[in-house]
Structure 1
């Protein structure tokens, strides 16, 4: 082990300072010696992935639970394999540090025709590509390394966006000075006059409203404002709904929670309560097609007070440089509390009649029954990861218990994302039970990472919904078209094929009774990875997806 303090050690020390404990990636000759620095670090663990795309997905999942993540690939072939995952992190505001080990500085300066390049002597093609999907980029040199590392890591943390660090193979071993100042500094409080102006303007508007509602989305969790959101809701008594991208940012068992709003596909009560609200406190919301059923929301911008990480907007009035957390706390302290009856609050727990649950042992499994049974299986403090497609739209309708974290990717929508992401979410917090819900088509894209889970001795629960192909695409166009078909696999055998021995249990379920037996057994077998193949009919899909398929088909015309 080198006794000289180096640029590489400075970088990994700063990553550790941000709380990162695991670094994902794939080795390559341009990053190998830097990987030695990671391995030698007492606070970091290297987690090698099956490919770079999976590493990027795993880092994204880790960051959603842990707050920030990092991955390392080699130049060109490795970093381009990861770029899709990093683009998803940019789209959905997930802070990930992407580190590329690249050829030596002199080789790049001389334009030599080395491997993993396009053979044209240019070494900046790929960093230019990353400029489009990251918030900050840098190529480290002996002169700029420490300042540039600090600059891009601060941007990653504060802006909640991925950043790109190009680390030439000859730079990481250069001597550096140990940091003497903390990387993150306490964020300055908003000027008191800005806060007062905001309160003086908005409190009369909110107090005047007869049917106010809070609508929350995923930025609440990205910017760690869940506690402030709860404080505002309970201080005002207002009903609160989320969008599916922000599902779980507010306790769905809370008496003020009225549901997951999705535009015209929402329940009648929820849709009327949100669309006809005369004041919507919109907290961290970005309206996209997949979470609004094709932009079918019925409210207008005139009724919305936008509370974002950058500030507050109401009609033509803007208050900048107010953090989301500070804004919510200040409003909570200035608004009067109202009662549930006057606000017409029907909590989601009372909107559906609770039917006695039974298992029809020999009945073939259907999507409807599967989601009813999963609803009972999910417990407090679980992490639920739902892949885009059948799984996401089925899970959207499942009410979550207290402190359940919900992970999906409805904006970027890259199928297969969630399986490697589950590797990341589980490593981010080993104390929580992770439940992955993924379709067979998505599973076939990234299934290799189960081998990494087995190697790391992780114990997630994986449900693979085998409905014989790309059901989302079938719902939109070509239900019998060959391009929506996939090869049928023996899914329940996959953990064994990928190296599992005694650290997994696998189940294949085709009936309600078989699924019920598997769920019961899994509750007892908590020290192994659990893998469940759930067989349903090809065109069986959640009710929401049936409607959305028609909406997306019309949108594509």
Structure 2
């Protein structure tokens, strides 16, 4: 939940108990670490006296070592602070700066007694922004400028770190000033306004539709900004360009045609791109194709038709959360409206993540309409937080895709194997199990195009209640991108 809050608000914090509580959150922290999400974990631990005397207290391994769990966090956090009366102020500031600048989780161990000590009020605010580019950053910026000046067919690929640093507007200023064509990876969807004429679509490697695939693959300069070429983002590393075409500017790595350079502060650097001076691009830009005049029939819902109907249902300013599975791969090629924020977890890929993330995001921004798309298998892992959503009076629109099991796994391996089936629940009634009433939740179950169309019309206007929509589709049906990707992964795993 904290991860989703941070993706929308910019940063978040949560508190856990020592040992049993903090270890339950390691998986979530790993996802935040992998995808550059600044989350602060505050662990309430025993008093300093108990720790110093190695007392055998509950929630420990019974050996008097109070640093074991802290050490376990070292690989999934960017900074750790174990607070004492002497170091609390400096250590807290230190890890906060790490979270803000690196956009990664940090860990604070707070012994009970330390939480109540009196400290002096800080005299100034934390300052994470340098006043000007460093010498190294200025030199790299000049090289980027020269490359763009010489390029005849440049293309920009934006990634998830643009979202992590909340620098979408700075990226937009750069694109608009120089009239550059831009695409995003699935890991980074919504980093650029997909309703803009400069937007070419979502690039997914060899599975990308034409003409986008050829436009990117034949570019003489591919400028990656905050992007990582992961397997799930590029259909098994099947992107069609080489190191000799790539300049990559990221938060942890800068590469020029395969050669590693010194690092830059990404947000500061992207902001500076609009200050460059080179000729505006004058070549052809073919924007992403959108669904128009969609016909609705009294037929069973297919994956293909469902995502087209979703495209027409979206409005500007939405927050869309796509579960890693059928939902994510269905949404990847859905063109978004202006000012839409897209949340997913395609790098870490912990199923069930999005249900919690959607709730955290809506807590962070209740003014944005939130739409969650999640499969039945993923939902069964984290559905208990539905009670939290109802308690907090949240009103997302939830599409539960019921296709009787793990569709992603079926596409990759074991289409008819028992392990890809799950218990069949009565999903339409779940909200009432967790405290929902007809005053707080509207529930529906649809299996045809007409049924979904009618429910969408109703849900669009019923904004005060949670909309819980069970969408039944054939278990052997899948988004076209997932079918292609499944074949690629199956071949690679053979």
* Structure-2-length-normalised TM-score: 0.96
Superimposed CA distance per residue, residues 314-349 of structure 1 (whole angstroms, 9 cap, x where no aligned partner): 23473644544434534553121122xxx2321103
The question of whether the paired residues in 1 share the 8 Å contact of 2:186 and 2:203 is answered with: yes
1:150-169 correspondence to structure 2 within 5 Å: 150-169=93-112
Which residue of 2 is the match for residue 534 of structure 1?
A: 471
Which residue of 2 is the match for residue 431 of structure 1?
A: 367
Equivalences, count: 492
The question of whether the paired residues in 1 share the 8 Å contact of 2:409 and 2:420 is answered with: yes
Could you tell me how far 1:200 is from its partner in structure 2?
4.3
Could you tell me how far 1:119 is from its partner in structure 2?
1.4
Could you tell me how far 1:460 is from its partner in structure 2?
0.7
* Cα distance change on mapping 1:475 and 1:320 into 2, 3 Å: closer
Which residue of 2 is the match for residue 358 of structure 1?
A: 295
* Cα distance change on mapping 1:202 and 1:92 into 2, 3 Å: closer
* Cα distance change on mapping 1:185 and 1:547 into 2, 3 Å: closer
Out of 262, 266, 272, the position equivalent to 2:208 is 266
The question of whether the paired residues in 2 share the 8 Å contact of 1:199 and 1:331 is answered with: no
Which residue of 2 is the match for residue 178 of structure 1?
A: 121
Which residue of 2 is the match for residue 138 of structure 1?
A: 81
Secondary structure of 1:462's match? strand
Distance 1:304 1:97 in 2: 34
Distance 2:211 2:178 in 1: 21
Superimposed CA distance per residue, residues 90-117 of structure 1 (whole angstroms, 9 cap, x where no aligned partner): 0101000001111222222222221111
Could you tell me how far 1:372 is from its partner in structure 2?
1.1
Alignment of 1:513 onto 2:450? yes
Could you tell me how far 1:220 is from its partner in structure 2?
0.9
Q: CA RMSD in A?
A: 1.7
Distance 2:74 2:30 in 1: 10
* Cα distance change on mapping 1:131 and 1:347 into 2, 3 Å: same
Superimposed CA distance per residue, residues 233-261 of structure 1 (whole angstroms, 9 cap, x where no aligned partner): 11221211000111111111111111100
1:37-56 correspondence to structure 2 within 5 Å: none
The question of whether the paired residues in 2 share the 8 Å contact of 1:476 and 1:549 is answered with: yes
Alignment of 1:470 onto 2:406? yes
Which residue of 2 is the match for residue 47 of structure 1?
A: none
Distance 2:265 2:24 in 1: 38
The question of whether the paired residues in 1 share the 8 Å contact of 2:226 and 2:266 is answered with: no
Alignment of 1:203 onto 2:145? yes
Which residue of 2 is the match for residue 60 of structure 1?
A: 3
* Structure-1-length-normalised TM-score: 0.85
Alignment of 1:445 onto 2:385? no
* Cα distance change on mapping 1:196 and 1:415 into 2, 3 Å: closer
* Cα distance change on mapping 1:303 and 1:328 into 2, 3 Å: farther
Could you tell me how far 1:195 is from its partner in structure 2?
5.8
Which residue of 1 is the match for residue 157 of structure 2?
A: 215
The question of whether the paired residues in 2 share the 8 Å contact of 1:462 and 1:530 is answered with: yes
Distance 1:202 1:533 in 2: 49
Distance 1:414 1:275 in 2: 31
Which residue of 2 is the match for residue 479 of structure 1?
A: 415
Distance 1:310 1:432 in 2: 31
Secondary structure of 2:359's match? helix
Out of 65, 70, 74, the position equivalent to 2:17 is 74
Distance 2:220 2:59 in 1: 58
Contiguous gaps of at least 5 residues in structure 2: none
Alignment of 1:489 onto 2:429? no
Superimposed CA distance per residue, residues 435-467 of structure 1 (whole angstroms, 9 cap, x where no aligned partner): 000000000000111111110111111100000
Could you tell me how far 1:183 is from its partner in structure 2?
2.4
Alignment of 1:408 onto 2:344? yes
Which residue of 2 is the match for residue 454 of structure 1?
A: 390
Could you tell me how far 1:208 is from its partner in structure 2?
2.0
Out of 211, 221, 232, the position equivalent to 1:290 is 232
The question of whether the paired residues in 1 share the 8 Å contact of 2:155 and 2:221 is answered with: yes
Could you tell me how far 1:209 is from its partner in structure 2?
1.6
Alignment of 1:348 onto 2:348? no
Alignment of 1:554 onto 2:491? yes
Secondary structure of 2:401's match? strand
Alignment of 1:371 onto 2:307? yes
Distance 2:124 2:82 in 1: 22
Alignment of 1:394 onto 2:323? no
